[in-house]
Amino acid sequence: MTVITQERAERIARAQACPRCSEYTYKRLKLRAAEPTDHVAGAAWIAELICGVCSAHLQLALEGDGDVLFFN
């Protein structure tokens, strides 16, 4: 399976609405490849985000094809 690029994963991450306040502004986004130690089955990318509106600390997991596994 071809895994989406980091650039594309970041674009997808930024396109997700904050699960708390439904805004799309992130003051921080740190994206990295998922590792076995993350224990997130099926994840290819993990992003840590801080919402620019409500300051929630969020974690996003993406599958290799860019589908969102979870965002909370």
Taking the least distance from each CB to Zn ion, the nearer of 18 and 44 is 18
Q: How many CB atoms lie within 10 A of CB 38?
A: 13
Note whether 29 binds Zn ion by CB under 5 A. no
Q: What is the residue type of 41?
A: A
Note whether 44 binds Zn ion by CB under 5 A. no
Q: Which stretch binds Zn ion (CB under 5 A): 13-21, 28-36, 38-46, 63-71?
A: 13-21
Residue 63: C-alpha distances to residues 21, 38, 43, 54, 56 (Å):
24, 13, 5, 26, 23
Binding site for Zn ion (CB under 5 A): 18, 20-21, 51, 53-54, 56
